[in-house]
Amino acid sequence: MSAVPPVRPDLRLSEGYHSPQVDAEVRLNTNESPLAPPQAWREELQAALAEVPFHRYPDRPATELREALAGLHGVTAAEIFCANGSNEVLQSLLLAFGGPGRRALVFEPTYALHSHIARITGTGLIEGGRDDQFRIDPDDAVALVSRPAEGPDVTFLCSPNNPTGRAEPRETVAAICDAAPGLVVVDEAYGQFGPWSALELRGPGQPGLVVTRTFSKTWAMAGARLGYLVADPVVVSACEAVVLPYHLSVQTQLAGRLALRHVPEMEARVAHITEERGRVAAGLADLPVDTWPSDANFILFRPRRRDGDAVWRSLLDRSVLIRNCSSWDGLHGCLRVTIGTEEENDRFLQALKESL
């Protein structure tokens, strides 16, 4: 009799990573935009969908979307690869450049999917660390990527880093790019909130530099599942070779292409959220919590007098849902709050004050 074999033991995502999907009046746990896309974008999308021949496959290379993104970044369409969220972009990179006998370097604590997707693709892992301010020491990082015969084939830098919030200094990223023997993938899911972009380092001297972006955060399109990378055409071609055919639906391609008509609205949304981030940070400074500077749309903090799990539950009792990072390696007792609307942020600060 046939039986279901056990699942590979290396596929289990770290305990507690998946954010609970529970009912709450204020949801500040998954770093989504608190503001919807422009109404004009919605109307344009609905009109365009009415003309779609759904009995035909979508444009396989996503030509128009890639051309529009190339125009946004001042590059060629051959330097753009699009996929279903930046996670599929990361998976494609590791399918092409990782795998058995190859290694990926991550600096913990960082975005859990970097190491998880590495394991899925059979890629070995090298783990670097961060200091007590969650910074990467550039000398330590250069030493890690430069080890003879043991250096990484892919190095991941999350900047601004999730869940800690800080963007890596330009000098650190440049030093790692100069020393790394393989790809350096700078995950800029929150890049538009940060003070600078690794896109500024691209050029003939850095063919292995890859910058990934997503429409989920600043573009307020988490439901569309669209991400992309900007990289050397050789990297793009490799990703196209491993991704499944027709992977990007016509709806997703349309949503992204039409969103790019509304850059000023996106920038205004980013500016508003950044201003609210400063206000929430000031509110946290008046409470008995430790916080870290953030260049993203969230803030990491640790209660001083109460257990993080207890504070998280107390907030949920007040119908405020944030991210509980207490069980994550290197983040004992820490919680992370997404920046919401003014009303949501006020509600969070009041609930936290009561919970503490």
Q: How confident is the model over 104-117, as pLDDT tens digits?
A: 999 999 999 999 99
- Residue 47 resides in a domain: no
pTM of the model: 0.95
- Residue 2 resides in a domain: no
pLDDT of 204 reads: 87
- Same-domain status, 224 and 322: no
CATH number at residue 299: 3.90.1150.10
Nearest to 162 by CA among 31, 315, 19, 289: 31
- Same-domain status, 134 and 275: no
pLDDT of 148 reads: 80
Rounded to whole angstroms, how far apart are CA atoms 207 and 311? 46
- Same-domain status, 195 and 276: no
pLDDT of 16 reads: 45
Point out the residues of the chain with pLDDT beneath 50. Answer: 16
Q: 60-64 contacts: CB < 8 A, separation 24 or more? A: 60/245, 60/246, 61/240, 62/248, 62/253, 64/253, 64/257
CB atoms within 10 A of CB 124: 17
CB-CB contact of 112 with 12 (8 Å)? no
- Same-domain status, 124 and 246: yes
Task: Give the list of residues 6+ apart from residue 125 with CB closer than 8 angstroms, or none.
Answer: 103, 104, 105, 106, 115, 118, 119
The total of structural domains in the chain comes to: 2
pLDDT of 3 reads: 86
pLDDT of 12 reads: 64
Mean pLDDT over the full length of the chain:
95
Residue type, 197: S
Rounded to whole angstroms, how far apart are CA atoms 324 and 331? 10
| Phi, psi for residue 65 in degrees, rounded to 5 | -65, -45
- Same-domain status, 190 and 101: yes
Nearest to 79 by CA among 88, 67, 87: 67
CATH number at residue 253: 3.40.640.10
- Residue 336 resides in a domain: yes
- Same-domain status, 245 and 269: no
For residue 146, the enclosing domain spans: 53-261
Place of tokens 């409470």: 287
- Same-domain status, 209 and 72: yes
